[in-house]
Amino acid sequence: MLVSTEWLASHLNDPNLVVLSVGPKAEYDKAHIPGAQYIDMPMISAKDSKLTLQMPPTDELERTFRTLGVSNDTRVILYSIAPTPQSTTRVYLTLDAMGLGRSVSLLDGGFGVWKSEGRQLTAEVRPVKAGTIQACPREDVVADLAFVAANTGHDGVHIVDARLNTYYTGEQIPPAQRAGHIPGAASVPFNSLVDESGKFRTADDLRSILAAAGIKPGEQVVSYCHVGQQATVVYFVARYLGFDARMFDGSWQEYSQHTELPASTGSKP
């Protein structure tokens, strides 16, 4: 699920490799890893949803990734242009929901580490040969509001809030939304899972962070955030550590609209 800069540098010319650069287009246009194609959130988000970043229909996703050269037998490497990985993990989750997650990896540390090591950069955009994808959608990746409401406080299921802790406690309130968090949810801020270089922390450190939040081995981890982006970092880490993981796509944006559902404030779940 994670590859190093050394690994990618030695595999850039592999015939079945597709590298996808995730983040601001202007930065991609300035410089990117040779051969990388560009992708960002609007390309993998539902066009007709009132919620932000909702997963679009599978056939739309198939068309998007085909144009990027992705096929069922492609090895996909995702890297983040920004110093934090939440956009990259959102693309990972999308491909995982399509049934392609086994062949997708993140470049640990992203573009920042690659560039800091003085590795090859280019502004050239290579022509793409369209891929051939037949998705096999998974039903155990994205959770909806009904699933979250039914499993709040349920034994064996741990709801995890990936937002910064000030939103979790209610000290900060998202615009036009309620304060606080889903009752019983643990707080695991997405940025606590990476170090100052943008690399993911060691597996032992990640296990310790989840354990400190009360998440036990064998539990199902269901993450949420503001709109379903930061939460994918928790999803990725949970999958990386072997947990059964899902991500609540509507996240607090959707939950907060349902005033019949309870919300908690303060530092306790």
Whether the CA torsion 61, 62, 63, 68 is positive or negative: it is: positive
Instruction: Read off the tokens for 45.
Output: 């988000």
Q: How far is CA 206 from CA 104, 166, 192, in A?
A: 20, 21, 9
Fold of 2-116: Oxidized Rhodanese; domain 1 (3.40.250)
Q: What is the pLDDT of residue 207?
A: 98
Q: Domain boundaries in the chain? A: 2-116, 142-257
Domains 2-116 and 142-257 are alike in CATH topology: yes
Q: Are 238 and 210 in contact (CB under 8 A)?
A: yes
- Euclidean distance between CA atoms 76 and 131, whole angstroms: 12
Whether the CA torsion 123, 126, 127, 132 is positive or negative: it is: negative
Q: What is the mean pLDDT of residues 2-15?
A: 97
> Which helix (DSSP H) or strand (DSSP E) does residue 209 occupy?
helix 203-212
Q: What is the pLDDT of residue 257?
A: 96
179, amino acid identity: A
- Euclidean distance between CA atoms 86 and 114, whole angstroms: 18
Instruction: Look over the chain and give the mean of its residue pLDDT values, rounded to a whole number.
Output: 97
Q: What is the pLDDT of residue 223?
A: 98
Angle between helices 231-240 and 86-97 (to 10 degrees): 60
Q: What is the mean pLDDT of residues 143-156?
A: 95
pLDDT band at 258 (very low <50, low <70, confident <90, very high): very high
Q: Which CATH superfamily is domain 142-257 in?
A: Rhodanese-like domain (3.40.250.10)
Torsion of CA 100, 102, 108, 112, to 10 degrees: -20
Q: What is the pLDDT of residue 58?
A: 96
Q: Are 247 and 228 in contact (CB under 8 A)?
A: yes
Q: If you write DSSP's letter for every residue of 93-120 in order, what string do you get? A: HHHHHTT-GGGEEEETTHHHHHHHTT--
176-213 residue pLDDT tens: 899 999 999 999 999 999 999 999 999 999 999 999 99
- Euclidean distance between CA atoms 40 and 78, whole angstroms: 11
Q: Percent of the chain scored above 70 by pLDDT?
A: 100
- Euclidean distance between CA atoms 197 and 117, whole angstroms: 12
77-135 residue pLDDT tens: 999 999 999 999 999 999 999 999 999 999 999 999 999 999 999 999 999 999 999 99
R_g over Cα of the chain: 18
Contacts of 170 (CB under 8 A, 6+ apart): 179, 180, 181, 265, 266
Eight-state DSSP code of residue 56: P
Reduced to 3 states, what is the DSSP secondary structure of residue 45? coil
Q: Percent of the chain scored above 90 by pLDDT?
A: 99
57-71 residue pLDDT tens: 999 999 999 999 999
Q: What is the pLDDT of residue 210?
A: 98
Instruction: Read off the tokens for 36.
Output: 């990388």
Q: What is the mean pLDDT of residues 237-253?
A: 98
Across the beta sheet with 220-224, the strand order is: 142-143, 244-248, 220-224, 157-161, 186-187
Q: What is the pLDDT of residue 169?
A: 98
pTM (whole model) above 0.85: yes
